[in-house]
Structure 1
Amino acid sequence: MDSEAWWKQFKGKETPSTVHLDDSFFKMVPKGSKVLDFACGWGRMAFKLQEKGYDVVGFDINEDAVENARKASKKFNQIHKNRVSFDVANARDLPYTEGSFDACLIQAFMTALVDPEHREMVLNEASRVLKEDGILYLADFGQSWDNSLYRDRYLKDFSLTGEMGTFIVTEDGNPESPEIFRAHHYTRKELMELIEPRFAVEMFKETVFTTYHGNKTTGFVVIARKIDFLGMESF
């Protein structure tokens, strides 16, 4: 089962969400900004941002999760001045017009992109839908070579995945169990090489994240600003 098919199997609020938003987001993105939440699931982060004073559009390929989020939004849009809405969409081909958003939130999503071409497509789309001077907030899992669990999996699965840091995920976390999808943990260099052609990095922070199976791993939080086609900052 590939990562998209695996993600679509979750119902309602079952979609896993373990990574919390770093406080740096609120320092860099002014309240009232329009935020696009990539792979929003049932809307956990979108509703939090709405409560904090942001207008949010969330999207996901999981139709059931989006439907659940839409139902909840009816209540929250009555409570809060700021608005939230949800769409079914694919991050590689977004249905939004160019320059529609002040900020893009891509959190614990890039790990599911084991095809390098898809990573490029997603960040191209993020850049396209951002306004000039728009902010990219990206947080994802980093390679944890000091953790024997991950080190062994990186090395063992390399012959099958063909990319160091891409490994096989099983339902119960046991490496001997059947594969359900593959995930990728990034190096700092990998993320920088993906981000820098499109954005000027303003913050790169290393931290610790908890995975779907409860494991601790290196985490990276990046805040970057959209740059124009000439490679100069847009302001």
Structure 2
Amino acid sequence: MENEKTWKQFKGKETPSSVEINELFFNNIPEGSEILDFGCAWGRIAFHLQKMGYNVTGFDLNQNAVETALKEAEKTNKKNIFQVQFHTANAIELPYPDKSFDACILQAFLTTIIKPEHRTLILKEANRVLKDEGIVYLADFGQNWENPYYSQRYERDFAKTGEMGTFIVTKKGKPPGKELFKAHHYTKEELMLLFEQVKKFKVEIVHETVLTTFQGNQTKGYIIIAKKI
């Protein structure tokens, strides 16, 4: 994926991870479920879910972050009935058998996918590894044209990214500065269209919320819960 080298620059717990799990996850996915965590980084979400009573498999492109998660898992797995495991893998070609998981969590993950064709492939892979009637829980950032901080970035970076809503994230949060990675903010229609294109999901919940970026900004976000059909 285009952002692959970018995300591998982060070491250990440096990988941005700021979005909290909404109660909608726990209301719709029963304890004891087998969860696949997309873009798990160093395992922040996975370890939280383990504490809440879920078995979690996490994967990420960043081997260093995965190794950090594995070291922590050696400790947490000894203390918990519910277990976590981690792998280095690519979301567009998952190393897991069909119908392996009860739910997939994509927590501020699609924002890092800047090639539209890859987004569809990722949801198709999620569908493949889900058990019948399995759940996708997706939480991601929405386009925020009301906020000049974001609207100016969308328009400024369009010439470089080629897609409205995709922008360059810098270390200082604004230009000039070193590019950390590219990110995409979605319209609700974009997210719904992705599920329609995959065709094997029924969207059950669309919830507008406020999410926190890794730089501490509060912005519009969406939570979608969809069932495999």
TM-score, normalised by the number of residues in structure 1: 0.93
Match of 1:206 among 208, 223, 228: 208
Once residues 76 and 178 of structure 1 are traced to their aligned partners in structure 2, the CA distance between those partners, rounded to angstroms, is 36
DSSP-derived class of the 2:30 partner: coil
Code of the residue aligned with 1:44 in structure 2: it is R
Alignment of 1:107-122 (within 5 A): 107-122=107-122
Once residues 93 and 190 of structure 1 are traced to their aligned partners in structure 2, the CA distance between those partners, rounded to angstroms, is 22
Code of the residue aligned with 1:214 in structure 2: it is G
Q: Which residue of 2 aligns with 1:7?
A: 7
Once residues 218 and 204 of structure 1 are traced to their aligned partners in structure 2, the CA distance between those partners, rounded to angstroms, is 13
Q: Which residue of 1 aligns with 2:220?
A: 218
DSSP-derived class of the 2:181 partner: strand
For structure 1, the 5+ residue unaligned runs are: 228-235
Once residues 58 and 10 of structure 1 are traced to their aligned partners in structure 2, the CA distance between those partners, rounded to angstroms, is 17
Structure 2 residue 161 is the aligned partner of structure 1 residue 165 = no
The alpha-carbon deviation at position 148 of structure 1 amounts to: 0.4
Q: Which residue of 1 aligns with 2:93?
A: 93
Alignment of 1:143-158 (within 5 A): 143-158=143-158
Code of the residue aligned with 2:186 in structure 1: it is Y
Once residues 198 and 164 of structure 1 are traced to their aligned partners in structure 2, the CA distance between those partners, rounded to angstroms, is 27
Taking only aligned residues, the RMSD between alpha carbons, in angstroms, comes to: 1.2
Once residues 181 and 37 of structure 1 are traced to their aligned partners in structure 2, the CA distance between those partners, rounded to angstroms, is 21
Code of the residue aligned with 1:206 in structure 2: it is E
Once residues 20 and 179 of structure 2 are traced to their aligned partners in structure 1, the CA distance between those partners, rounded to angstroms, is 27
DSSP-derived class of the 1:19 partner: coil
TM-score, normalised by the number of residues in structure 2: 0.95
Structure 2 residue 128 is the aligned partner of structure 1 residue 128 = yes
The alpha-carbon deviation at position 136 of structure 1 amounts to: 0.2
Q: What percentage of residue pairs aligned between the two structures are identical? A: 56
Code of the residue aligned with 1:43 in structure 2: it is G
For structure 2, the 5+ residue unaligned runs are: none
The alpha-carbon deviation at position 204 of structure 1 amounts to: 0.6
Q: Which residue of 2 aligns with 1:36?
A: 36
Deviations 1:51-104 (A, max 9, x none): 111111001111111111111111111111111100000111100000000000
Structure 2 residue 69 is the aligned partner of structure 1 residue 58 = no
